Every structure is written in structure tokens, then in C-alpha cells.
Amino acid sequence: MLVYLVVSILSTVWITMAQNQPGVPEEKDKTSTALKEGQLRHIKTGQPYVFNYHEDLHRWNQKRYEALGEIITHCVYELLENECHLKKVYLPVDATEGEPKSFIFMSEDAITNPDKLMVLIHGSGVVRVGQWARRLIINEDLDSGTQIPFIKRAMDEGYGVIVLNTNENYIEVEKSKKQVQSPANETDEPAEKKEKKDDSQKETNKRRDFYEKYRNPQKEKETKHIPIRDNGTPEEHTLYVWDHFISRSSAKNVVFVAHSYGGLVFVELMIQREAEVKSKVISVALTDSVHNVWHQEAGKSILDWMQEHCRNWVSSSEPLDTPVEFMLPDCPRVSAGTERHELTSWKSFHSIFKYFTQALEAQNTEAKSKSTVTTRSSYRKKSEDL
């Protein structure tokens, strides 16, 4: 399981970092605690992750945290493939060799499933495909911090699944080194005084470089960003996936789960592809969405559709599913049963699937009603002809 894989790598990260730091003390002696399924624990002590491992070295601690985050990201990718049996699909679909690429994850039947499809969109920041919140993965567990429970339940209930990767918008490459020439010294200082000053500056630079190296385990490099074609922003990425995958899927019933900035991205998709979205999407679950229909200039037809087909589970001290008043007339808001923004998706997990089930039942009832009306109309016409 991931917990053992991650703690093993985490232990290696700690040891490697310690060995690379001059004067870093030995591993702290901590009381061991029992491992729990899906929680991140140190492989030797069993203790949870501690950010402030060196109290006087915030930058070092931050770099260590970022390194762990990268490891976790790749571990989640492996889980999506090995446990959820999703496949990685690269974007753009017509990318040339060597061109910057992004990717999404899809179930085998995402395009061919004739009944229903679920699309998952995370929020902004460092999270990547399959994650809701890195903080929860590190400090809580996999269930609350990743989209894996949503994916597994969706597949158990017969959904095809597409998982978006809206923050993978560019590749980062190191800039080529440039020679920097020191400005000529035009002072008329005596040679002896100048030599002493140079020696003093060299000693100062040496101490500074040593201290910076100690504080910063990863050497800073100048980098530049190369955008991924047609996927340079979360909005572009979502539109691209809609045009090339979701809109071409066979599913009659498409549902979305969108967290935080993912809600804004969905509203933008509606603005750009309103007719198409209305023809395929039957229900949208937002979790503490940060969309704003006034700033995004959503028209009345979109607002009316959102009132009927969207629900936003927001951070609140009220019990789960309690209606929450809000000034904007876009969609109903209910409590997610938590005041923590990053936990809203996990806390509303069961309510979201219940909401989708009700939407599907309503859709099926409406389809049967239309079928009955059509049949009666055809029978009446046939009788009149006779």
C-alpha cells in the first residue's frame, strides 16, 4: 500500500537531506506510534510528518516539504494506474516528439460508456491530477486528500471517469548559464587596502554561501516556463479536455465534481460551451467553489441552469447539507459539515453521490415520460389514420 511506499521514500528523503547538510544533528529520538491505513508515517518512529523539523531553518523545512510533495504526487499517479486502473492520456493529443505535454487520467470506458460519466476537477495551487489537497494527504490520510474514493465509488456505480489535471500548464527548464562580468573598479585606493578589502569580501561571501547551503538543501536554479499548447491555463485545459474527450463520449448523463477554483473553471466552461454542456451534463457538485458569476459574466440562461443542476457544498459550522444563504443567485448552497476549506470534498462525499443518484433518477423519469408521450402520440395518429 501507499503508506508503506511513501514512508519508505520519506525516510530516505530525510536521511539524504541530513547527509547533505553540514552540521545537521542526528535523527531526533521520538516515541513510536502505530501505523494506520492510508496515513503518512515515518518508517522508523511511526510519527506523523513534522514540518518544523529544524526550528531555526524555515527555508530548509519548506524545501523538505516540497520534496515530499513531489514524491507524493508521483505515488498518487501510481495509485491511479495500479489501484484505480485508470490510463494516462497525454495532451495535446497531436503533440510532436519533444513538445511539452500534460496528461489526464481516464477509465477504460470513459469514452464508450453509454450511460454515465463522472469528471473530477481539483482546485488551484500545487495539487495535481488525483489530489484534492496536499496538506490533507500529508497530515491526515489518503481518503480525505485524494480523489481516489470518488473514483473507486464512481466506477463501482457504473460511471466512466475522467480526472482533469488543470495545474499542469507548463514544463520548467533551467536557463542557460550567462557569464556575468564584474564592473571595473575605478577607485584609486592603495593596493594594500584594496587587497585587505577583497580578502574580507571573500570571507563574507564564503560564510554566506555556506549558510545558504545549510539552510537550503536544494540549490536554487534560474528556470523558465514553457507553456503546454492549448493547456496553458486551467480554463484552457478544461476546454481542451471537453472538446477532445467529454463532448465526444457516448455517455447520456455526465456529472462533474469541482473543488474550489475548479468551480470557477466549470463556470468558464459553461460560458464557452453553454449549449453543449446543457445537452450532456445533468448534475454538478461544487465543493467550496470560488466562482463568481458576476465577474465571469455568466448570463441569465446559465444562472437558471445552475439553479436547477448545481449544488455547492460550502465550508460552514452548520451540520452537513444544511441550506446556507448567499447573495448571488447562481446555485443552492449547503453546508459541507466542516469549516475547513480543503476538507469540503471529503466531508460531503456521501451527500454528493446521493445528489447524483437523485439527478439520474429524475433524468430517467423524464426520459420515460417523454417516451410515453411519444408512444401515445404515435398511437393516436395511427388511430386517426385508420
Q: Are 160 and 116 in contact (CB under 8 A)?
A: yes
C-alpha cell at 186: 575605478
CA distances (Å), 46 to each of 27, 33, 38, 50, 111, in order? 13, 5, 13, 12, 43
- Residues near 112 by beta carbon (within 8 Å), at least 6 away in sequence: 160, 249, 250
Q: Are 261 and 124 in contact (CB under 8 A)?
A: yes
Dihedral angle over CA of 324, 327, 332, 334, nearest 10: -20
Q: Are 27 and 14 in contact (CB under 8 A)?
A: yes
C-alpha cell at 92: 495535446
If DSSP codes are grouped into helix, strand and coil, which group holds residue 1?
coil
Q: Are 92 and 229 in contact (CB under 8 A)?
A: yes
In angstroms, rounded to a whole number, what is the distance separating the alpha carbons of residues 138 and 75? 12
**Pick from 150, 162, 168, 302: nearest CA to 241:** 162
In angstroms, rounded to a whole number, what is the distance separating the alpha carbons of residues 291 and 363? 26
Residues serving a catalytic function are 260
Instruction: Count Cβ neighbours within 10 Å for each residue of 249-286 and write b for 16 or more, e otherwise.
Output: bebbbbbbbbbbbbbbbbbbbbbebeeebeebbbbbbb
Q: How many CB atoms lie within 10 A of CB 153?
A: 15
